[in-house]
Amino acid sequence: MLNHRLRFLSLSLGVLLIGTVPIYAGSPKAIQDQGKEMIKDAEEMVMHGGMGDAKAIVHHCAEVTKHADAILKALPPADDHGKEAAPHLQDAIKHCKRVAEMGDKVDPGASLNPAAKARAAAREAMKHLAAMKDSGA
């Protein structure tokens, strides 16, 4: 609650002093940290798929989706690397939705294919997210 009040106060102060509303985007470090967590879940998702644990695949895929959504919302709109990462993040979400639709009652081999595609998309997105630091975004 205190965090929301501080954010509102700083936004109000910014509007008064500058006359414009700042656009909130995550810092490159925060976005990259979220991306690292996404990759960790993506790797565990495929690893559990290889072991035949369908519940773990679904769980980690939901986590990948959560991280990808958060990253998409935090991407700075003017950053080229963020723009390049966005379609890959959306692909990861799309493939994880397929896994969620299959559920944890299917043969883990069936959900492993879209899980592996989600991991590949997350890895590709992370390449672009890692480059954000270099651009000074």
- 3-state DSSP percent of the chain in helix, strand and coil, to 5: 80, 0, 20
C-alpha 10/C-alpha 63 separation (Å) is 31
pLDDT at 24: 47
| pLDDT 10s digits, 64-121 | 999 999 999 999 988 999 999 999 999 999 999 999 999 999 888 899 999 999 999 9
Name which residue leads in pLDDT, 44 or 9.
Answer: 44
pLDDT at 2: 46
> Which tokens sit at 27?
């810092």
Domain 27-135 has CATH 1.20.120: yes
Q: Are 35 and 125 in contact (CB under 8 A)?
A: yes
Domains of the chain, by residue range, sit at 27-135
Average pLDDT over every residue of 7-23: 40
pLDDT band at 125 (very low <50, low <70, confident <90, very high): very high
CA torsion through residues 85, 91, 94, 98, sign = negative
C-alpha 137/C-alpha 131 separation (Å) is 9
- Which residue, among 55, 71, 72, has the nearest Cα to 111 in the 3D structure? 55
- Is the confidence at residue 18, as pLDDT, over 90? no
Side-chain-side CA neighbours of 126 within 13 Å: the count stands at: 21
* Share above pLDDT 90 across residues of the chain, in percent, rounded to a whole number: 65
